[in-house]
Structure 1
Amino acid sequence: MPLAYGLAAVVGLVLCLTWGALQVQVTLAGFLNGESLWSKAQKQSVIDLYAYARSGDTERLDSFRRNYDVVRTDRWARDAIASGHYDRHAVGAAFKRAGVIPAAIPGMVFILDHFAHAPYMGQAVADWRSVDGAIEELDAIAGELRQAYAHGTPSAEEIARQSARIDALNDYIEPRSDEFSLDIALGAAWLGRVLFASVLLMAMLASLLWIRMARRILAGIRGTEERYRQLFDSAADAIVMVDEALGRILGVNRTTCAWTGRDPDELLGKDFLDLFVEGSMRSSGSSTIGLLRSENGVARTVETHSSLTTWGARPVRQAMMRDISDRVSMEQERRIAAEAMASVAEGLIIADADRRVTTVNAAHTRITGYTLQYLQHHRFDELRRMPDGSALPPSIWELVAEGGNWVGEVQSWRSDGSSYPELLSISAIRNSEGRVQHYVAVVTDITRSKADRQRLEYMVAHDPLTGLANRSEFQRHCAQAIEAAGRMNGAAAVLFVDLDAFKAVNDSYSHAIGDRLLVKVAQRIRRELGENDVASRIGGDEFTVLLGGLRTREQAAQFASRLLLSLSEPMLIGDYEIVMSASIGISGYPLDGSDPVVLIANADAAMYAAKTQERNTFRFYTPLMHADARMRLMLGADLRQALMRDEFHLVFQPSVELRSGRIVAVEALLRWRHPERGELMPDEFIPLAESLGLIRRVDAWTMRAVCAQIRQWDQAKLPPVRVALNASAATFGHPGFIDGVKQALQSSQISPNRLLFEITESAILRLGEATEQTMHALHALGIGIAIDDFGTGYSSLAYLKLSGIDFLKIDRSFVTDLPDSANDVAIVEAMLAIAKSLGMCTIAEGIETAEQHEFMLRAGCNEGQGYYYARGLPPSEIERMLSPNPRHESSRLRLVPPK
Structure 2
Amino acid sequence: MRIATTTLQRPLSRRLMPLAYALIAMIGLILALTWGTLQVQITLAGFLNGESLWSKAQKQSVIDLEAYATGGHAADLASFKQHYAVLESDRWARDAVASGNFDRGKVAQAFGRGSVIPGAIPGMIFILQHFPSAPHISAALQAWYSTDDSIAELGDIAGELQDARAGGRLSDAEIGRQRGRIHALSQYIEPRTNVFSLEIAHGAAWVGRILFGSVLGVACIAMLMWLSMARRILAGVRGTEERYRLLFDSAADAIVMIDETSGRIVDANRTASVWTGREVQGLIGDRFVHLFMQSLSRQEAGRAATNTLLGANGGTRPVETQTSLVNWGDQPVRQAIIRDISERLAMEQERRVAAEALASIAEGVIIADADRRVISTNAAHVELTGFTIHALQGKRLDETRRLPDGRPLPQSIWNDVAAGHNWLGEVQSGRSDGTSYPEQLSISAIRNAGNQVVYYVAVFTDIHEAKTNQRRLEHLARHDPLTGLVNRAEFERYCTEALAVAERERLAVAVLFIDLDAFKIVNDSYSHAIGDRLLIKVGERIRRQLSEGDVAGRIGGDEFTVLIPRLILREDARAIVSRLLAALSEPLLVDDYEIVLSASIGVSGYPLDGDNAATLIANADAAMYAAKTEERNAFRFYTPMMHADTRQRMQLATELRQALARNEFQLVFQPSVELRTGRIVAVEALLRWQHPERGEVFPAEFIPVAEGLGLIRRIDEWVMQATCAQIQAWDLAGVPPIRVAVNISARWFGHPAFVEEVSRTLQSRQLPAQRLLLEITESAMLQLGDDTERTMRTLHTLGIAVAIDDFGTGYSSMAYLKLPAVAYLKIDRSFITGLPGDTNDAAITAAMLAMSRSLGLIPIAEGIETEAQHDFLVRAGCIEGQGYLYSYPLRPEEVQHLLCPSQPQAAPRLKLVPPNRG
Normalised to the residue count of structure 1, the TM-score between the two structures is 0.50
Please say if 1:827 is aligned against 2:821.
no
**Residue 451 of structure 1, CA deviation:** 3.8
Matches of residues 773-812 of structure 1 in structure 2 within 5 Å? 788-794=805-811, 796-797=813-814, 806=822, 809-812=825-828
Any residues of structure 2 matched to 1:228-247 within 5 Å, and which? none
CA–CA separation in structure 1 for the residues paired with 2:423 and 2:562: 43
* CA separation of 1:377 and 1:623: change in aligned 2, threshold 3 A: same
Deviation string 1:618-676 (CA, Å, 9 cap, x unpaired) is 55544455444443444345445545555444545567789999988766544333444
Aligned equivalent of 2:753, options 732, 735, 738:
738
How far apart in 2 are the matches of 1:340 and 1:664? 97
Distance in 1 between the 2:482 and 2:879 partners?
48
* Gap change, CA 1:877 and 1:462, over 3 Å in 2: farther
Query: Residue 551 of structure 1: which of 547, 568, 575 is its match?
Result: 568
Displacement after TM superposition at 1:846 (Å)? 1.8
Between the aligned partners of 1:357 and 1:767, the Cα distance in structure 2 is 78
- The 3-state SS of whatever aligns with 2:864 is coil
Q: What CA distance in whole angstroms lies between the structure 2 residues aligned with 1:657 and 1:288?
A: 120
Alignment match of 1:700 (pick from 698, 701, 714): 714
Provide the C-alpha distance between the structure 1 equivalents of 2:684 and 2:354, rounded to a whole number of angstroms. Answer: 76
Q: Alpha-carbon deviation of 1:584?
A: 4.9
Following the alignment from structure 2 to structure 1, what is the Cα–Cα distance between the partners of residues 757 and 827?
30
Q: Distance in 1 between matches of 2:695 and 2:396?
A: 82
2:837 pairs with 1:816? no
Provide the rounded CA distance (Å) in 1 between the counterparts of 2:376 and 2:764: 84
Residue 366 to residue 405, structure 1, CA distance change in 2 (3 Å): same
Cα 1:304–1:467 change in 2 (3 A) is same
Q: Cα gap change, 1:534/1:721 in structure 2, threshold over 3 Å: closer, same or farther?
A: same
**1:679 lines up with 2:692 in the alignment:** no
C-alpha RMSD of the superposition: 6.5
Instruction: Report the CA distance between 1:483 and its aligned residue.
Output: 2.0
Please name the residue that 1:58 is paired with. none
**Matched residue type, 2:846:** V
Q: Residue 846 of structure 1 corresponds to which residue in structure 2? A: 862
Q: Quick one: distance in 2 between partners of 1:427 and 1:752?
A: 90
CA displacement at 1:454 relative to structure 2: 3.3
Structure 1 partner of 2:258? none
CA contact (8 A) 2:846 2:876 kept: no
| Cα pair 2:441 2:458 within 8 Å, conserved | no
**Which one-letter code corresponds to 1:848 in the other structure?**
I
Instruction: Give the SS at the match of 1:548.
Output: strand
CA distance in 2 between counterparts of 1:740 and 1:428 reads 81
Point out where structure 2 has 5 or more consecutive residues left out of the alignment: 1-233, 255-268, 280-307, 320-339
1:458 to partner: Cα distance: 3.5
Q: Does 1:535 align with 2:549?
A: no
> Whole-Å Cα distance in 2 between the matches of residues 227 and 794 of structure 1?
112
- 3-state secondary structure, aligned to 2:496: helix
What does the per-residue CA deviation read over 1:829-877, in whole Å, with 9 as the maximum and x for residues that have no partner?
335544x4xxxx6664625368878988998988766556665555666
SS in structure 2 of the partner of residue 679 of structure 1: strand
Structure 1 residues 333-354: Cα deviation after superposition (integer angstroms, max 9, x where no partner): x9999999979xx747475675
Distance in 2, matches of 1:288 and 1:721, equals 111
C-alpha contact (below 8 Å) 1:288/1:305 kept by paired residues: yes
Please tell me the residue identity of whatever aligns with 1:388: D
SS at match of 2:713: helix
Paired residue for 1:445, among 460, 463, 466?
463
Query: How many angstroms apart in 1 are the aligned matches of 2:884 and 2:498?
Result: 57
Matched, 1:477 2:494: yes
Distance change (3 Å), C-alpha of 1:761 and 1:613: closer
SS state at 1:821 partner: helix
The separation in 1 between residues aligned to 2:781 and 2:606, in whole angstroms, is: 45
Q: Structure 2 CA distance, aligned partners of 1:811 and 1:420?
A: 75
Q: Aligned AA for 1:702?
A: D
Change (3 A) 1:218 1:488: closer
Tell me by how many angstroms 1:514 deviates.
Answer: 6.0
Q: In structure 2, do the counterparts of structure 1 residues 336 and 574 end up closer, same or farther at CA, with 3 Å as the change threshold?
A: same
SS of the aligned residue for 1:529 comes to coil
Say if 2:590 is the partner of 1:590: no
Q: 1:402 to 1:851 in 2, by over 3 A?
A: farther
Which AA in structure 2 matches 1:826?
A: A
Q: Structure 1 residue 491: deviation in Å?
A: 2.9
Alignment of 1:273-352 (within 5 A): 347=363, 349=365, 351=367
Matches of 2:398 and 2:795 in 1, distance apart? 73
1:460 CA displacement = 4.0
Please say if residues 654 and 667 of structure 1, whose CA atoms lie closer than 8 Å, have aligned partners that are also in contact.
Answer: yes
1:781-826, CA deviations, whole angstroms, 9 ceiling, x for partnerless residues? Answer: 9987765544443364456677x86556545157626787123322
Write the deviation string for residues 720-746 of structure 1: whole angstroms up to 9, x where unpaired.
9776342344x6667xx6399769959
Q: Which amino acid aligns with 1:707?
A: Q
Alpha-carbon separation, structure 1, partners of 2:740 and 2:651 = 37
Per-residue displacement from partner, 1:189-208 (whole Å, max 9, x unpaired)? xxxxxxxxxxxxxxxxxxxx
AA aligned to 2:461 is V
- Letter matched to residue 530 of structure 1: S
Shift of the alpha carbon at 1:703?
A: 1.4
Secondary structure of the equivalent of 2:406? coil
Look up the match of 2:742: 724
Worse overlay, 594-603 or 765-774 = 765-774
For residue 555 of structure 1, report the CA deviation from its aligned partner.
Answer: 3.3
CA distance in structure 2 between the partners assigned to 1:564 and 1:640 by the alignment = 36
Q: Do 2:688 and 2:696's aligned partners in 1 also have CA atoms closer than 8 Å?
A: yes
Aligned in 2, Cα 1:861/1:876: closer, same or farther, shift over 3 Å?
Answer: same
Q: Which one-letter code corresponds to 2:506 in the other structure?
A: N
Question: Are 2:755 and 2:794, in contact at CA under 8 Å, matched by a contact in 1?
Answer: no
CA distance in 1, matches of 2:873, 2:271: 112
- Change beyond 3 A, Cα 1:822–1:458: same
Q: SS in structure 1 opposite 2:753?
A: helix
TM-score between the two structures when normalised by the length of structure 2: 0.49
Q: How far did 1:773 drift?
A: 7.6
682 and 888 in structure 1: CA distance in 2 versus 1, 3 angstrom threshold: closer
Q: How does 1:209-288 map to 2 (within 5 A)?
A: 220=241
With over 3 angstroms needed to count, the CA separation of the structure-2 counterparts of 1:738 and 1:784, relative to structure 1, is farther
1:738 maps to a residue whose letter is A
1:597 aligned counterpart, secondary structure: helix
Structure whose alpha-carbon radius of gyration is higher: 1
Task: Kindly tell me the number of residue pairs found equivalent between the two proteins.
Answer: 604
CA contact (8 A) 2:403 2:409 kept: yes
Aligned equivalents of 2:530 and 2:673: distance in 1? 41
Residue pairs, 1:56-95, within 5 angstroms: none
| In structure 1, distance between residues paired with 2:412 and 2:435 | 27
Report the CA distance shift for 1:288/1:230 in structure 2 as closer, same or farther (over 3 A).
closer
